[in-house]
Structure 1
Amino acid sequence: MTDRIRRLGMTAARFALSGALLWLLLSQTDASALMARAAAIDPRWLAAAFALTVVQVVLISWRWAVIMAGLDASIGTMRALRINLAAFFLGQALPTSIAGDAWRVLKIRSLGFGIGTGVRGVLIDRTTAMIGLVLVVLVTAPLLLARMPDPAMRWSVAAGLGLGAALLALALSADRLSGRWASGRLSGVAEFGRAVRGLLSRPVTAIPIVGVSVMVHLLAGATMWLIAGSLGLPVGLVDCLVLMPPIVLVAGMPLSIAGWGLREGAVVAVFALVGVPMDGALLMSVLLGLLLLLVSLPGGLVLAFPEPGPGQAAPRRIR
């Protein structure tokens, strides 16, 4: 009962945070300018942004399939895509971001692989996505810092990047540290580090995994550039490539509902650095959220019509 109350409390807190942040942003935005900009949206640019979002989902699924094959649990790209679509839908529809990952682990188990394999596969997928994000941020950091006029902001971002890179390096090398990292409750961290390094030490798996991770983050920037184009905002492609990684990092924090509120606040704050007005930045973020929701909808069909598991007969068609 206590756990249930705690979960309900956390869910209520996420809804409250998303609602409060969105209300705060809307209350500070010129409503007439927002509506006028929304009425002038060019659907052709949005269609291109949607197509790029679909490409990202396919690439992410292929990366996960490569990771699972490297763990001796081959599931194939199409099955990985089906599972990921359903997980993506759960992540957008449910108040907790962990639901999609839990679904992926359960599906791996239903395919006859161990639950530990499923957990490692999901964690490695998340970690390699973070590695790609760190690489993009490190390469574009000079351009990002150059767009920040406040020295305190630049130092804060630089410190955050250094801390994130250090924590990632610690997790990947935990098994090489002495003491409790190698045994006890933290032994799983050490085993996880070995598994990730094992995949990244082989070019046949490292190149597609890291390459896709970097490509997905670059495509996220290109997607935001297309969304800005649909609104007629004079934002450069380089600006979007540089500014999107910190937005992805903030929106991915498990504090709100599917990133709503956090993402909008980050987009407004970050794109203000390149002169995007608040109503334009807010609408950019809302359109991105709606595109993500639209891309996830086929996952609902996957959940409604699951494929047969091992040893399970497919349903017969009635003639």
Structure 2
Amino acid sequence: MSARTVRAPAAGESVPTARAGAASRGLPARLTTRAVRTRLGALAGGALLAVLLWRLGTGALLDGLRRVDGPTLLAALGIGLVTTVFSAWRWALVARGLRIRLPFGPAVADYYRALFLNAALPGGVLGDVHRAVRHGQSAGDLGRGVRAVVLERTAGQLALFAAGAVVLLTAPSPVRDEVRHAAPLAVPAVLGACAVVLALRMNRAPSRRGRALRGMLAEAREGLLSRRNAPGVLVSSAVVLAGYVAMFVLAADVVGAGASVTELLPLAVLALLAMGLPLNVGGWGPREGVTAWAFGAAGLGAGRGLAVAVVYGVLSLVASLPGVVVLVARWYAGLRAGSRTTTSPGARKDAYPRPSPSAAPAVPVASAASAVPPPEVSREKYAPKESARLASSSFPFSAEPREGRPMTPESV
């Protein structure tokens, strides 16, 4: 049980007033917990999606959903297979850089399960948390397992930021002018902030937090930037990002957006960047809002943009459905393993050691010396009582085995 510090009431202050003040000070701390932030983000994402549907209507959305057919679903499963396999490969590379074992086959299965949980649960990251904890526990190092997933996701985000900056600076988009005006100011600002942080770290005395930070940077360098891992991480991140863009283009083709791939590329980047915002319900919310605004600004129609974003979400959910198979298979395997453990006859037979046939109840020396021999009685008359005495001795089983099994008091 965790200890709690209770403030004593000041002079002239009543006990209920002191308790009310402590509760009011603890309220902001409770509101900033991860669980509360996840719920608030899910509510904000759901409210944003509801407002979009209310303002833009559901005509284009329902028309786009009606066009989703079998070949489209198969194409989504194929794109999802490619992106999941390359994402799992990147995860395995990062884990190898951190010197923890992660076979490729289980990595693909765990990644599928994480994708489905991300799409089905609020927040969009609970699946990644689950695979991080599971891998860390199975590898015997929870810290490195969690850091491997964090670095793997960081590699994907860095690839998206780098490619997105190039696309938004060069391709025609609703935000190209703003990005071009902000880029000359953003780059020196980032470099200056990094220089200030580095100078402060170099002039500060070594501390426990500083050593932990240097250890994390060393792990990031080994996991992402080492000569052995960097090419694989770069290739896998590029393929995964290309798969996400291909899924967005497929959704736009299903809806009938009537735009070329060059026109859709910056819009897809904006949608993918919006998916990283924490105000979502399994990825839904900001993606639809940004896509509707971007399509409207590009002259393609805000309602059509909302339909593209919703169809993209549906196709992404379909692409993650193999994760359901992984969940059911792991659950069934766990049930079978538990039933074999609890019903194994060998384990039940050997649960207790068998006593030696020659073992006899130990009698203290003093008691044996002072004991008065009982009078001679008929052995046949008291045979049942003797067997009852043997059954109620200090041993859990009788000393004489019967039919190859230890004798319990009920079998005597």
Please name the residue that 1:112 is paired with. Answer: 139
Q: 1:208-247 maps to which residues of 2 (within 5 A)?
A: 208-247=232-271
1:122-161 equivalence runs, <5 A: 122-144=149-171, 146-148=172-174, 151-152=177-178, 154-155=180-181, 158=183
Higher helix share: 1
Change in 2 beyond 3 A, CA 1:215/1:120: same
Aligned residue for 1:73?
Answer: 100
In structure 1, the partner of 2:207 is 183
| 1:26 aligns to 2:53 (yes or no) | yes
Matched letter for residue 315 of structure 2:
L
Q: Aligned residue for 1:44?
A: 71
Aligned with 2:229: secondary structure?
A: helix
1:82 Cα offset (Å): 1.4
Structure 1 residue 214: deviation in Å?
A: 1.9
Q: Which moved more, 1:6-15 or 1:197-206?
A: 6-15
Query: Structure 2 unaligned runs (5+)?
Result: 1-25, 341-412
**Shift in Å, 1:177:** 4.2
Q: 1:121 aligns with which of 148, 152, 158?
A: 148
Aligned length: 311
Q: Residue 7 of structure 1: CA displacement?
A: 5.4
The Cα shift of 1:31 comes to 3.3
Q: Do the aligned residues in 2 keep the contact of 1:247 with 1:266 (CA within 8 Å)?
A: yes
Q: 2:217 aligns with which of 165, 172, 193?
A: 193
**Maintained 8 Å contact 1:174/1:189:** no
Unpaired runs of 5+ residues, structure 1, are none
The whole-number CA distance in structure 2 between the counterparts of 1:166 and 1:315 is: 59
Identity %: 27
| Equivalent residue for 1:59, pick from 86, 107, 112 | 86
CA distance in 2, matches of 1:295, 1:33: 23
For residues 167-316 of structure 1, what are the structure 2 equivalents within 5 Å? 170=194, 177-179=201-203, 183-185=207-209, 187-306=211-330
1:291-310 CA distance string (max 9 Å, x none): 2222333323433432899x
* Amino acid aligned to 2:329: F
CA contact (8 A) 2:41 2:280 kept: yes
CA contact (8 A) 1:52 1:219 kept: yes
Gap change, CA 1:77 and 1:285, over 3 Å in 2:
same
Note the C-alpha offset of 1:135: 2.5
Q: Tell me, in whole angstroms, the C-alpha distance in 2 between the residues paired with 1:30 and 1:97.
A: 26
Structure with greater contact order relative to length (CA < 8 Å, sep ≥ 6): 1
In structure 2, C-alpha distance between the alignment counterparts of 1:289 and 1:106, rounded to whole Å? 26
CA distance in 2, matches of 1:82, 1:211: 21
Asked if 1:85 is matched to 2:117, the reply is: no
Alignment check: 8 A CA contact 1:34 1:279 kept: yes
SS in 2 for 1:111: helix
Could you tell me how far 1:170 is from its partner in structure 2? 4.8
In 1, distance between residues paired with 2:67 and 2:185? 38
TM-score normalised to structure 2 length: 0.65
Could you report, residue by residue, the CA deviation over 1:82-112 in whole angstroms, capped at 9, with x for unpaired residues? 1112222222222233422321222123323
**Structure possessing the higher radius of gyration over alpha carbons:** 2
Report the more deviating stretch, 68-77 or 55-64: 68-77
Which one is further off, 250-259 or 45-54?
45-54
Map Cα deviations across residues 236-256 of structure 1 (whole Å, 9 max, x no partner).
Answer: 222333332332222112222
Give the 3 Å change call, closer, same or farther, for CA 134–7 of structure 1 in structure 2: closer
Cα RMSD for the two superposed structures: 3.6
Structure 1 residues 150 and 254: CA distance shift in structure 2, 3 A: closer
Contact 2:64/2:254, CA 8 A, preserved across alignment: no
| Cα separation, partners in 2 of 1:314 and 1:61, compared to 1, 3 Å | farther
1:276-316 deviations in Å (ceiling 9; x for gaps): 2122211111111112222333323433432899xx96976
Q: Does the alignment pair 1:101 with 2:128?
A: yes
Residues 70 and 266 (structure 1), Cα distance of their counterparts in 2 relative to 1, 3 Å cut: same
Q: What is aligned with 2:372?
A: none
Take 1:199 and 1:192, find their aligned partners in 2: how far apart are those partners? 10
- Equivalent-residue separation in structure 2 for 1:33 and 1:308 (angstroms): 42
Give SS of 2:321's match.
helix
Q: Is residue 45–residue 284 contact of structure 2 (8 Å, CA) maintained in 1?
A: yes
User: Is the contact between residue 118 and residue 127 of structure 2 (CA under 8 Å) also seen in structure 1?
Assistant: yes
Q: Is the 8 A contact 1:87 1:101 kept in 2?
A: yes
